[in-house]
Every structure is written in structure tokens, then in C-alpha cells.
Amino acid sequence: MDTTELIRAYQTMRTIRLFEETVVTLVNANEIPGVTHEYIGQEAVATGMCAALGPDDVLTSTHRGHGHIIGRGADPGRMFAELMARVDGLNHGRGGSMHAADVSLGIYGANGIVGAGAPFAAGAAWASGAPGAAGEPTTDRRVRRVSVAFFGDGAINQGVLLETFNLAAAWELPMVFCCENNGYAVTTPAAASAKVTPSERATGFGLAVREVDGMDVEAVYEAAQWAVDHARSGRGPVFLDCRCYRFVGHNTGEHMLGLQYRTHDEIELWRGRDPITAVADRLRGHGLADADLARLDDEVQQHIDAAVTFARASASPEPATAMDYMYATPTLTTATRWGHR
């Protein structure tokens, strides 16, 4: 990455981190209802991956989706508003953390069911080259749209995702499987749930595979560029096995349960590899002064503060609108059922 790109990556990663730290505060203050899963520690993956995407590309996200959504460029204000269940939220307060989406940016949504979003990415990838779909293949055989499916190491044991690996490989879909291999599915170590690594499994489906240091945004970006180009140029789907770590609990509430499935040492070891600190160090290598970094941090802080202010100012939905958005083509009789409650 050149300096400009690296600065942008730093800004994105800082934004995700601060967004997430703010989310934790807001959850604990009961300003955000429900359950959220923080992306803290994994910022390099979403940032590097999204940096390689073009404007028409599509992504599907997970329960741990904030990083992908912010990384892809969604407005933090509307994202906070969504998490805070406000009408100006991305989903008008209908989705919350686990279903946040910004379809205008190709974000087909977080998902509460592990693995379940991946086939959407496959379908969208296909539509980009299918006759009649919005995106015809361009003349040089490069497709307009590449899809990225994000998922964790735990997801690779879920049937629908495995089926999607196969579908993508068999149909040579222009898509990238981005496995955020943080080593755990909630409390369960990846190795307890599978005899092979994610890469080995993906190879067995005929996907092109690369292992990536998911704590290094430049490594992710480089791999992502290769992967997206591979897919876009019609050479078929790619699987990126991004080794990373979450610095915090599975979700905001985990600390209350007192679970002991990772050692203090292990957590500290990975925290020592903080992907944001790493980029800051590199930026210093690119000639940025501490003051420059402080200014960047400050900008992010202001951005997030403004976002929270925006969200707080947004209204709650009206109870009478609870059935809104249910059907795109309402029929007389579906509509009247509401009265029957």
C-alpha cells in the first residue's frame, strides 16, 4: 500500500475500533438493545478486503458484522442509529446489529444464522454475469460484480456454507470466501470442531486458496486484490483463510458469564499484534509524525462522536409501523390481518 492507501486503511481500522468501543459503552448503558458481537482485533480483515472491492461488488456479513459494514463505507451515524433502533438507522430500526445492511453499498446484510448469508453472495455473483441480470459481463469477460462472503472458522462446519463452496467452485462464480479464522466459535476452539484447517477444507472443494495473516492489513489487501482479480477475470472463486483473533468476548455480554476458554497469555500474545498499532508503526515508517497520527485519531473521534449524536437525535419508530416493510407487494388480505391481533 502506498502512504495514501495506508492512511485510509488506518482511518478505517480506527473507525471500526472506535465504533466498536462505543458500541460496548452504549450496550452497557442500555442505549443499544439486544446483543452485539464486537469486531475488535479483526479490523485488518474487513479493511483490507473491502479496500480491494469495486463499487458494484457485493458482500454478505455475519453476526460479527459491524467491521464489514463500516469497512465497506456505510455511514457510522446511520449504523449507530440502527443499533439504537432508530428510524434513521440503515434498516430504519428493523434489523439491529445482527441484520444491519446497506444494500445501496452492496452490503447484503449481517446475518444471525452462521453461514446463511454466503449463498446470497453466490447468487449475486452469478447475477452479475447472467443474462437478464442487472450486470452483464463486460466485453473483456471481466464481470462487473464480484461477491465476498465473510464468515468465521466456526461456520466452515455448517452445511449451507459447505454447499455454497461447492456451488461456487462447480459454477466458477466470481466470488471470494473470506474466512475470518479467529480460532474460536464462541468457546469452542476451531481444532476441536474440525480435523483440518479451513484452507485444507476449501481445497477439497476446488477453491483457489490462500492463507493470509489477518492481523496485517497490507497482507490482507494484497491477498484480497489477487482474489478479487482472480474472481473478476473469470478464473473462479477464491478462499482466503485469514488468521486473526478477537481481543474481546464473543459478544458484549460474555464477560458476565465468566467463561474461561482462552488463557490470559494467549489473549495478551495476540493483543501484542494489534493490527492498528502495526499500521501506526508502518505509517511512522512512511514518515508520519506522532502528531499526524494523533490528528487522524482525532478526526475519527469527531466522526464517531458526531455519529452518536446523529443517532441519539433520531426518533424511535412508531408502534403502528410495526408491520411496515413486510411485503413488497402487499395484498388486501395480508394487510388486513394486522387488525386481527
Partner 1 sequence: MTVMRYQKALATAVRDEMAADPSVCYLGEDVVHSLRGVSSGLAAAHPGRVKDTPISEAAFTGFATGAAMAGMRPIVEYQIPTLLYVAFDQIVNQAQKIRLMTGGQTRVPVTYLFPGSGARLGLAGQHSDHPYTLLAHMGVKTLVPATPQDAYSLVRSAIRDDDPVAVFLPANCLPRKGDVDVAVTVPIGPAAIRREGTDVTVVAIGHLVHEALAVADDLADQVDVEVIDARAAHPFDWHTLTRSVTRTGRLVVLDDTNRTCGWAAEVAATAAEELFHHLRAPVRRVARADVPMPFAPVLERAVVPDREAITAAILETAKA
Ligand X SMILES: Cc1ncc(C[n+]2csc(CCOP(=O)(O)OP(=O)(O)O)c2C)c(N)n1
Site residues (CB under 6 A) for ligand X? 63-64, 112-114, 151-155, 158, 180, 182, 184-186, 250
Residue 194 in contact with a second copy, rule: CB under 8 A? yes
Residue 263 in contact with partner 1, rule: CB under 8 A? no
Measured between alpha carbons, how far is residue 112 from residues 30, 60, 67, 155 in Å?
Answer: 21, 12, 15, 12
Using the rule CB under 8 A, give the single segment among 102-110, 159-167, 173-181, 331-339 that binds a second copy.
Answer: 159-167
In the complex, the smallest distance separating the C-beta of residue 325 from a second copy, rounded to whole angstroms, is 30
**Quick check: 164 and 149 in contact, CB under 8 A?**
yes
Q: Which does 182 bind (CB under 5 to 8 A by kind): a second copy, partner 1, Mg ion, none?
A: Mg ion
Residue 185 in contact with partner 1, rule: CB under 8 A? yes
Comparing CA positions, the residue from 152, 219, 213 lying closest to residue 185 is 152
The C-alpha angle 327, 61, 301, rounded to 5 degrees, equals: 110
In the complex with a second copy, the residue whose CB is nearer, 160 or 267, is 160
CA distance 177 to 238: 6
Q: Which helix (H) or strand (E) holds 176?
A: strand 175-181
Measured between alpha carbons, how far is residue 82 from residues 59, 200, 236, 238 in Å?
Answer: 19, 38, 35, 32
What's the grid cell of residue 16? Answer: 471500526
Q: Which does 195 bind (CB under 5 to 8 A by kind): partner 1, Mg ion, a second copy, none?
A: a second copy
Residue 214 in contact with Mg ion, rule: CB under 5 A? no
What's the grid cell of residue 205? Answer: 472443494
The crossing angle, in degrees rounded to 10, of helices 275-285 and 217-232 is 100
The contact pattern for partner 1, residues 73-92, with x = CB under 8 A and - = no contact, is ---------x--xx--xxxx
In the complex with partner 1, the residue whose CB is nearer, 16 or 85, is 85
In the complex, the smallest distance separating the C-beta of residue 213 from a second copy, rounded to whole angstroms, is 23
In the complex with partner 1, the residue whose CB is nearer, 101 or 293, is 101
Helix, strand, or coil (residue 177): strand
Tell me, by CB under 8 A, how many residues bind partner 1: 97
The contact pattern for a second copy, residues 203-222, with x = CB under 8 A and - = no contact, is xxxx----------------
Using the rule CB under 8 A, give the single segment among 20-28, 55-63, 201-209, 261-269 that binds a second copy.
Answer: 201-209
Near Mg ion in 150-189, by CB under 5 A: 152-154, 182, 184
Strand arrangement of the beta sheet that strand 208-213 belongs to = 58-60, 147-152, 175-181, 238-243, 208-213
Residue 150 in contact with partner 1, rule: CB under 8 A? no
| Residue listed under C-alpha cell 476449501 | 202
In the complex, the smallest distance separating the C-beta of residue 286 from ligand X, rounded to whole angstroms, is 31
Rg, C-alpha atoms of the chain = 20
Strand blocks (E) in 30-171: 58-60, 147-152
Beta bridge partners of 180: 152, 242
CA distance 294 to 315: 34
Q: Which does 202 bind (CB under 5 to 8 A by kind): a second copy, Mg ion, ligand X, none?
A: a second copy
In the complex with ligand X, the residue whose CB is nearer, 230 or 250, is 250
Near partner 1 in 223-252, by CB under 8 A: none
In the complex with Mg ion, the residue whose CB is nearer, 39 or 184, is 184
CA distance 322 to 339: 12
